[in-house]
Structure 1
């Protein structure tokens, strides 16, 4: 069993949330590298065989640039919030074709009191959103198995943060999964408590989660004509 993150990882992120400025970050960059970036890269490396057992078409890429790890720097060009850094660290386990076409991904989020694992499509383009909705309409039985099976829903929640108030145009109001067709995001997620995130069983926990999220991700891949 391996430990990746520690209390020092959360201490750095809490400090960054309080002091979100370049001078503070540069003074504490060694802490970021030692307690956040490098442990996350180590975890991404160890997740490679785990992910290969879930799907041969997904990648956990630990390299510093162009890999799974998101930049800690925020893109503030069009944002009202001009703080330069995210006060969390995230990583995307991406589909091998994800550079060419929109594809579902797995996601891991490190933030004090708000760690989670997720899978799906966040803010899909209109064409992808339309394709997923039509696929659910045409394949409701397999959607029920992928997204509403009792075992799945005991462990994972579906993201309800952005939904339409009425059915999208052209879809029947009396459809069994009408509420799902109103979703703007198709994401399943599970919170991970801080103790698990800093504990020795994190890798095993993530293996169970990735296996549990596989049918949901597989369904979304099928909706977008992607291999899983």
Structure 2
């Protein structure tokens, strides 16, 4: 997939934007931004098409560069990164892929960022009942090599209705179930960057399959989909 590469100019533009985050500068350089954005979207689109061989994807969503500053103390008008998500198709397919390009802080992330209360409760009940399959999957050596450890916000104690002494309380108190993989600037502009992204996303599929199965069945294994 060497034809899909991020050029150094992309990172340079984003770095310069961060130092000149105002409308006057951006308006003057908007043509350049559109050029760099188009190049990044081409890379994202290439990964999207390749990933469709391994997963049923609905669409690629590129996030706008403009920040919503209405409720933020930070009033800078633009993001200093370019990001997008690869959205899975259908009610059976849970989990999401995210890609984030920023000088010095590029990463991909997968999993469950903001599960609704019903989904979160269902995941917790599954882990309360039996977390062995979950633990075995995320501790598998190749999985660990690519994705590392489970991340995400968590409660300081047990959720309401759960035993704080439960042997799997470290998992049960999680509010998010995500994995991230970081990349250096040199990796981002390398010829095999898109291949690394694709291989990482393919490697997460067993995790998505397990979580999708949990979230579409009850504790007896009966389907919740009609």
Q: TM-score, normalised by structure 2?
A: 0.85
| Greater alpha carbon shift after TM alignment, 132-141 vs 184-193 | 132-141
Aligned length: 217
1:216 shift after superposition: 1.8
Alignment match, 2:76: 83
Matched-pair contact (CA < 8 Å) for 1:107–1:117: yes
Aligned to 1:153: 144
Instruction: Decide whether the 8 Å contact of 1:20 with 1:84 is kept in 2.
Output: yes
* Alpha-carbon distance change, 203 to 163 in structure 1, aligned in 2, over 3 angstroms: same
In the alignment, the residues of structure 1 paired with residue 6 and residue 31 of structure 2 have an alpha-carbon distance, to the nearest angstrom, of: 15
Query: Could you list the runs of 5+ residues in structure 1 that have no partner in the other structure?
Result: 62-67
* More moved, 181-190 vs 126-135: 126-135
What is aligned with 1:11?
12
Q: CA deviation at 1:218?
A: 2.1
| Aligned mates of 1:3, 1:53 — CA distance in 2 | 17
Structure 1's 202 and 151: CA in aligned 2 closer, same or farther, altered over 3 A?
same
Give the CA deviation at 1:3: 4.3
Partner residue, 2:57: 58
Cα drift, residue 93 of structure 1: 0.6
Identify the range of structure 1 (43-52 vs 114-123) with the bigger mean alpha-carbon deviation: 43-52
Q: Following superposition, which runs of at least 4 residues in structure 1 exceed 4 angstroms of deviation?
A: none
For the aligned residue pairs, the C-alpha RMSD in angstroms reads 2.4
With the length of structure 1 as denominator, give the TM-score of the two structures: 0.85
Q: Deviations over 1:33-72 (max 9, x none)?
A: 222x1122212221234212321x22452xxxxxx11111
Distance change >3 Å, CA 181–CA 94, structure 1 → 2: same
Structure 2: 5+ residue stretches without partners: 218-224
User: Who wins on radius of gyration, i.e. which is larger?
Assistant: 2
CA shift for structure 1 position 97: 3.8
Question: In structure 2, what is the Cα distance between the partners aligned to 1:160 and 1:204?
Answer: 24
Separation of aligned partners in 2, 1:138 and 1:53:
34
Distance 1:220 1:75, change over 3 A: farther
